[in-house]
Structure 1
Amino acid sequence: MKLVQTLDELWVLPRPGGSAFAHAQAMFLNVGVEWPRRTLSTNSVSLTHRLVARIRAVALVNRVTARGWSAPVRTIPLVEAGHRKIGLRRRRTSEPSPAAQAFAQIAARVQQRQMNHA
């Protein structure tokens, strides 16, 4: 499906100010498609799911999130969606804290799972 085909739908979009909103905004701008006319804004994945399921709204969600959503929600790959990347940075002059080490291990496991399901 192409983004331009969704403009008459009710969209659930992230609230302005965060990286998810910036990603959605960049997607529309990069494709040269106007921002949807009918929108609701939330950063809650749970609320997004309920809105998509109950009022047949449209939302951008990643593959990992979409795997947990069941009928009546239907996922459709969007050609222009692109990819978001995350990264870890640390100071060279110090060891990461135990929490940072744990986060890095969890992130590596999630990445491996995603690669296995791609």
Structure 2
Amino acid sequence: MKRNGYHRLALAGHLGLFGLIFLWTLWIAPPEQFPRAILLVLLLGPLLLPLRGLLHARPQTHIWTSLLSLPYVLIGSALAAAGEQRLYGVLMVLLSLALFAGCVGFAQTMKKR
């Protein structure tokens, strides 16, 4: 895949993960025992940090965003294993792995330049 394809994969994973967490937390299955605002800040806050660098295709942002995606793999796999929100967990794992693969692929294609 070319550099532009990896960049699009990273953006799709990032924006998809952002949208999934936002929609799931506010409308699909809002938490009953935990404030929604705190959960949104904890889960979406870290995703807002690399947004500008990803949109401008900065290689260094892609490198550290690949590391940022790994906790979302863990959170998603824990949710998928728990059983109550299995679909949410599986979608979170898939989108965060897409983000990881896109970021790593983009960084490697930039290294070869």
TM-score, shorter chain, exceeding 0.5: no
TM-score (norm 1): 0.27
Of Structure 1 and Structure 2, the greater helix share is in: 2
TM-score (norm 2): 0.28
Of Structure 1 and Structure 2, the greater strand share is in: 1
